[in-house]
Amino acid sequence: MRATTRWLCASVFAFAAACGGDVSESGSPGPAPAAALTLSPVSWNQANADLGTVATVLESGKTTAVFGSNGVQFFAGGVLVATDTVVRAWRVAATVPAADGISTWMIGVDAEGKLLRVRPEAPPEDVTARFGLTSSVHALAGAGDRAAFLVEGGFAIADGKNVTRYDASDQRSIATAQGRVAVATERGVRVLEQGRETDIALPGAALVAFDGGGRLFAATPRCVYEISGTTPTLAYDAGSRTVRGLAGAGANVWFAVDGDLGLLVGGKVSVASGGALGPDTRLVGSPSGDVWSTSGGKLSRFSAQVARGEEATWIATVRPVHDAICASCHGARGSGKDASNLDLSTYALWGARKAKIRTRVVDQAGTQTAMPPKGAGYTLTADQKAAIDAWSK
């Protein structure tokens, strides 16, 4: 492929307001509170094959490739069909258009930043030079006829005939869909399409992703946005929590917020509870709409079912009280500033003790047995107490 290099010059960005207000960047009311999200673990490894320490995963047709300390393990229909142990340290992986522009390749990026084509029937093949790349690769994405790469000192886009390298210093994430490439930078999101470059101001942008319909999403450490044209619209405000992952998966867009998974679909947002993920979580979307997560070297796959009724009420009204007050003592086992022996970090745990919680928080308010206890340094506001009162009736 023919290679060219371009410089990214300073440009005027479309304005985007800071996250956390009551009005979205488009001027319309901010997003509705997140609904409750129920996660269903997906059993995909039928024989429970040992995966070692997993770095990442990709799907290509009926093949699932798992990259980690065991090398590359290839699964078909949930059955391990091949293993290649030549390379055992990986950064990221993706299915991208081949360098010849004809087929698609499964590509892993090894610990040195080399592009390695992987397949069940052959050892890894170094194809870095075939994409016109000469520097270490940190991330990659592929869709249609576009392959996009984050590299040392910038990023590169290949279309099967040409590869264009862009010199930049603050790129953080890259995604591509339907002929468009999006790059997250410190100042915002840069979108490249058919020779046009559009800069969208979103200070602190760290992650970008497209859904299956080509809609663009971006995340800062505190918020998730949907971007239409040059306008970011606030979709989810994490408050004091941190957004740690973003991945498109068919019609779905998944995000990780601290230890929980969130889902954006059809303009609606829902968030799970229970802290199933670790702080090092990385997300990979599945074409099926499911999401893969790697955390602590463990690979998991989840599908979603949005919660209704009482659990949805708990997520919207009581969970914020738990996160602000109760979690200081009653977070996930062993967590919290003054960790107790009573874990109340999920809806199920609250529901199992609903009557006792109502007695201690509502009925015994102001007494020596009330919760939070006197002298603990934590006090419920009238609104917080009313939220627990209404939910526990």
pLDDT digits (tens, 9 = 90+) for 223-266: 999 999 999 999 999 999 999 999 999 999 999 999 899 999 98
Q: What is the pLDDT of residue 7?
A: 46
Q: Is 93 helix (H, G, I), strand (E, B) or coil?
A: strand
Residue 393: name the closest of 354, 343, 339, 338 by CA.
354
Q: What is the pLDDT of residue 317?
A: 85
When divided into structural domains, the chain yields a total of 2
pLDDT less than 70: residues of the chain: 1-30, 306-308, 332-340
Determine if the pTM surpasses 0.85: no
> Among 268, 302, 336, where does a domain finish?
302
Q: Which residue segment(s) compose the domain that 363 sits in?
A: 310-392
How far apart are the C-alpha atoms of 190 and 13, rounded to whole Å? 9
Using the structure block, give the residue that is written with the tokens 């290949």.
Answer: 158
> Among 238, 270, 302, where does a domain finish?
302
Q: What is the pLDDT of residue 11?
A: 40
Residues 111 and 127 in one domain: yes
Q: What is the pLDDT of residue 332?
A: 62
How far apart are the C-alpha atoms of 354 and 371, rounded to whole Å? 13
> Among 249, 277, 302, where does a domain finish?
302
Q: How far apart are the first and last CA of the chain?
A: 68
How far apart are the C-alpha atoms of 142 and 158, rounded to whole Å? 9
Encode 30-54: b = buried (16+ Cβ within 10 Å), e = exposed. bbeebbbbebeebebbeeeeebbeb
Tell me the chain's radius of gyration from C-alpha atoms.
23
Residue 249: name the closest of 279, 216, 287 by CA.
287
Residues 253 and 351 in one domain: no
Residues 296 and 369 in one domain: no
Residues 293 and 319 in one domain: no
Tens digits of per-residue pLDDT, 43-68? Answer: 999 889 999 999 999 999 999 999 99
How far apart are the C-alpha atoms of 75 and 54, rounded to whole Å? 14
- Residues 357, 321 contacting (CB under 8 angstroms): no
Q: Please classify residue 233 by burial: count the beta carbons closer than 10 Å to its beta carbon, then call 0-12 exposed, 13-18 middle and 19+ buried.
A: middle
Q: What is the pLDDT of residue 93?
A: 97
Residues 241 and 328 in one domain: no
Residues 356 and 254 in one domain: no
Residues 40 and 98 in one domain: yes
Residues 180 and 80 in one domain: yes
